[in-house]
Structures are given as C-alpha cells and as structure tokens.
Amino acid sequence: MKRSDREKEESRRSITRRGLILGGLQLGMAGTLMWRLHDMQLNHSEQFHLLAEENRINLRLLPPVRGLILDRNGVLLAGNEQNYRVVIKRDDAGDIDLVLSRLAQLIDLRDEDIERARRDMLRNRPFVPVTVAERLSWEEISRVASNAPALPGVTPEMGLSRAYPLREDTAHVVGYVGPVSERDLAALEAPDPVLMIPRFQIGKSGVERMEEDRLRGRAGSQRVEVNAVGRVMRELDRVEGSPGGNVTLTLDARLQNYALERLHGHSAAAVVLDIPTGDILALASGPSFDPNLFVRGISSPDFNALLENDYRPLVNKTVQGMYPPGSTFKMVTALAALDAGVTDGQERVFCPGHMDVSGHRFHCWKRGGHGRLGMVSALSESCDIYFYEMAQRAGIDKINEMSQRLGLGMRYDLPITSVAGGLNPTRDWKRRNRDAEWRVGDTVNAAIGQGYVLTTPLQLAVMTARLASNSAVLPRLIRDPLERERPQLASLDLRADWLRLIRRGMADTVNDRRGTAYSSRVVTEEQIMAGKTGTSQVFSITRAEREAGIRRQEDLPWNRRNHALFVDYAPMDNPAVAVAVVVEHGGGGSSTAAPIGRDITLAALNGGDVPPLSAYPAPQRNRIRAEQIELEERLRRPEDMRISRA
C-alpha cells in the first residue's frame, strides 16, 4: 500500500527529532567527560600524582585510649602516660639486620629487644608496624628522627602506655596489662582486630583483666600516603576511636596504703569491709610488687626474685590464700549449737585442759584448763574444750549449714582473678576426696577451725560483717559513682538472743581483762571494737623435736610456725567496718594479728589516717608512737594520691 505525501513528510520530521535528541545526548556526555578530564588534569593533578604508581595508601588502626581505674574518691589507680617509641615495618626496611644495627647505635637496645622485634616481624604481615623500643627519652627519639634517611622503614611515634602511680599498693587488685599473646588470641572466638597490633596490651590480671572489654575501648583508623621507601607523605583522613570506659572501685586508696604498710615485714593479708554496703575498702596482701615492671617488660632477675620469695608476693592472699580459721571459727560452732537446740548458751561446761574422744586425746590451748564457763566466756577466753563439746552435740551437718549461712565456703563473684572458695567439709566431701567416712574426731577438729576447714581472709571479713549486722553482706569491688541509695541486704534471720551471746563473747575478747585480745583494746568510747583471735596450727612439734629441746613456736623454722588470725568489727554499738587479718606463720593471733587488726580498724574509722594516740591505752602510747613514726616514713603523702580529672 502506497503512503501519501503527507505521511511521508510526518515520518521524516519524526526521524529528524529522534536524531536531534540522540545527538544532543551524545554531545552532553562528551562534554561532561571533557569537563571531568579537564578538572582532573588541571585542578587535581597534584593529588593524583601523589597516588601514582610510586605511591600507595596504607590503612592503619589507631589504638584506643584505655579507660582509667579510680578509687572511691577519684584517686588514680591505673592511668596512661606519654610513651615515645620506635616502630619498624619489614617490607620497607630492606636489610633488617643492617637497620637494627644502625638503630642500636642511636638508642639503648638490648639483645632481647632486637630478637623480639625480629620474631614479631616474622609473625606479622610485612606492612604491619612492629615496636622495637619504647619509653624512650626525648633525646633518644630526636636522634632517631634526625637520622631517618639512614633508617628505612623506621618511624618514631608518640603513644600512650599504662602506668600505675601507686605501684605496690593496689597491684593484687588492679592487676596489670601486657602484650597480647597467642594464648590470648586462641581463647577468643572473634578477636578484636586491634588485638593484632604488635605489642598491643590487654589486661593480664586483676581488674585490668576482668574488666578488659569495658576498659579497652574501640580502635580508630588512619589512612596515610606513603612513598616507595615507606615514608609517610601525609595523612588522608582519620576516624577517631572510642576511649575505654573508666572503672571506679570501692577501695579507699589511703586506707589501702595504710593497711599494706601495716603488714610490712610479714607475709600477711588484711581485708576491710564497709558493713552497710559490702564495699571492700581495703584488700591488702603483703608483700606486694610493682605492676609497672610487667608493663615495661620485667627482667628475668626481677621476675625470679618474685618467684623465689618465700613470702609469695605474686599471690593475692586476701582471696587466693586458704587457711584454717582456727578459733575465729568458734562463733560458727556456737551458733550451730544454738540453732540445733543442744544448748541455750547459759550452760557451763567444765574444761580440765583436755578431752578424750574415740581413744584420742584433744587438748585445750590452756593445758591447765579453764574450769567451768559458759558460751560468752568460752568465746572471750577461747576455750577449746567447750567447743569440742558443742560440736559433738550439734554435729558436722549443722556446723556446715551455719558456716555457709555466715558466708564461709563461698566463691564471691568479684572482678579479680583467682578468687578461692575455701572449704566447708562435709561427709560426702570426705568420701569423694579422702575415700573415707566422716569421724567424730573430724567434727572435733572442725569445731575450732582446724582439720579440713579452710577459709580466705575475705570470707572471714564477710563472716564478721554478717555477725555484726545479721544481714547477708556480700562483698563488692566495683562502685557506681552515681549510686545514691545503699543496697538492700537480706536478713540472715539469726535470733537476736543468739547474736547477743556471740557479740558479748567477741566484745569481751577485746575488752575484758581475761579476753585473749585485751592488750589490743581501743579506749575511745565511740570506737570500741569487738573481735576474736585465732591461731591455726600448720605443723605439730614432733616428739623428736621436743626431745631435742624445741618447745616453742619461735624455735621452729618460719614456715612451720602457726598462722595468726584476728577478726573484728567496730564501733561495737553501731558497726561500720569489719576487718580480718591473717599473718602467715605469725605465731599467736593475740600477739601478732590482733595489734595489726586494731590499727587497721582505727585507720578505717579515721578516714585512712594514722590513728590518734588517744585511742590506745595510756601505758602503750609511747611504744605505739614510736611504731607510728616508723610507719609514717613509709606511707604515701596526700599529694601522691592524685585525683583524676578525666
């Protein structure tokens, strides 16, 4: 069919319009390309020149700033300080041995530093920077910078390093940080990429380890341009990370310092609890160590000295040390007998100095005996025979039940490493662990905190706080600075008349002339304390030793002597603090542990300060003042306790 002339004309116009549209689009695209080429060549030529073949872009992780650890008053326990260091990258260094040799001529590099750097470089990818030396002086870092052309791949940097300003005071609680190890990485399912940075440090013990996720923060990133020889040309952009969160502890740094120094010369532990809240005010284990040594890389001689010390400075005795509680356990036995209904506490038991049980003779510490006494006098004079009798009547099951009720045998959930649970022995426990049946003699031993019974100083402090308050006090170490109300503690529901007997016995222990801790009493009326001494046997003096003339504990080698213990709470009428002291191989609780416990208790009631002489009996004040002068020389001054402004 033939088209008309009109149809042919319309078809031509339609084709022309399409052609014009397509042509316009093509011209627009070409123009845009030409404008972009012009812009790139003229306006951005320098930028693209730097990104040319001889240059490349590196992405680096920026370690986050680690959070601070503070005491309850804001005193800095763990912080960060400037750290000048030198890093090296294997793929930029070329001849590594030559570069390290030149570097050793500029700064003090030990052979072990060089070997460690080599190992780190081989363990990581070639472009990952490895720390060769750190904590350099400004002069050393300046020498490295001025000799940069001769040190390819070497870069001087300034970063932050962990520091513990109070050194030994809080080492066992705060802990320390150290480089990430293969073992650390293997323990994590999805390790944070920042952990792959060579020599990056994480918590290794104490709060540093247990609160690692909160303290570490989130890494940032940095894009830099480097040339063919590894020199940084410029920083392209930077994304800052998030600093770690701060952790506030319940500790009082001044009291902690006082408690540790009061333990000076002993292998010992002291715990102070705030009774209404359960806050741990002091957790002192002596001797201690300087955690800064581990951050900086402890030398083999220093580490071996710590390991070989008989006083075990690396062990946190407050929560790791497990000791027979000795006579400090007698309150448990007394309450178990009252709860079992086998005594009313008024009954008097005769103590001839010994008791025969199942063919074995058990002695009282007072070989001539105490005569007839009731529960209050038995506690204050620490008569063993009375509690042998009560334990046999009540039985080990009741004793174990009361022990748990008072907080013994519990592993408390605290953010520090290696918290021990102690041991409340039961019939089943002995079958499983000793393959033997429980005997009456085992109950008699347990009555006075010997035999299989084991406790930690922290547990003894909790027991004392519970006796003083009739509340289920739970120790806590992390404090919320914004907390406005005290935590509500559950009641132990111990009968008031029972507790009156126990508290009178503890009060007379310290304040009655016949009490075992009378010489360690407090005379300030508003600070009078109640307590209990304890002595736990480690080894018996053998017959051969007696025949050789060894009669006293002082005649034995140090590590075979008895442990000395003391627990107390104060003030007696309105309990505020509970204290537990254990002195390893210290001899008698009344002669060694009780004076320490009194001093620490008074310091706690006086805000961590050295106690006033007016709190001590007048005949003791000259001697006490001489001891205080010596102690004050070791104590930290207030200006050493830096308040954090972070």
Which positions are catalytic? 327
Contacts (Cβ under 8 Å, ≥6 apart) of 38: none
Phi, psi dihedral angles at 73 (to 5 degrees): -105, 10
Tell me the one-letter amino acid at 461.
A
The three-class DSSP label of residue 237 is strand
Contacts of 97 (CB under 8 A, 6+ apart): none
CA dihedral 535, 540, 544, 550 (to 10 degrees): -10
Strands 69-70 and 247-248: parallel
Residues sharing a CB contact under 8 Å with residue 122, sequence separation 6 or more, in sequence order: none
Q: Cis omega before residue 571 (within 30°)?
A: yes
Task: Quote the CA–CA distance of 249 and 478 in Å, as a whole number.
Answer: 5
**Total number of residues shown for the chain:** 646
* Residue 522, C-beta contacts closer than 8 angstroms, at least 6 positions apart: 510, 528, 529, 570, 598, 601, 602, 615, 616
Q: What are phi and psi of 119, to 5 degrees?
A: -60, -45
The runs of H, that is alpha helices, within 198-268 are 206-210, 212-216, 253-262
Helices (H), 191-291: 206-210, 212-216, 253-262
4 by Cβ neighbours in 10 Å (0-12 / 13-18 / 19+) ranks as exposed
Helix (H, G, I), strand (E, B) or coil at 262: helix
DSSP 507-545: HHHHHSTTSTTGGG----GGG--EEEEEEE-SSPPPHHH
What's the rounded Cα separation, in Å, for the pair 636 and 309? Answer: 25
Residue written as token pair 């920077």: 129
C-alpha torsion 162→168→172→178, nearest 10: 30
Please count the CA atoms within 13 angstroms of the CA of 174 that sit on its side-chain side. Answer: 38
* DSSP collapsed to 3 states, 547-578: HCCCCCHHHCCHHHCCEEEEEEEECCCCCCEE
Distances from the Cα of 147 to the Cα of 86, 91, 100, 141, angstroms: 13, 19, 13, 10
Q: Where are the alpha helices (DSSP H) in 197-282?
A: 206-210, 212-216, 253-262
> Phi, psi at residue 9, to the nearest 5°?
-70, -40
- DSSP-derived 3-state class of residue 240: coil
Q: Which residues pair with 350 in a beta bridge?
A: 372
* Residue 86 DSSP SS3: strand
Please give the torsion angle defined by the CA atoms of residues 272, 273, 279 and 280, in that order, rounded to the nearest 10 degrees.
30
**Burial class (CB within 10 angstroms; exposed 0-12, middle 13-18, buried 19+) of 387:** buried
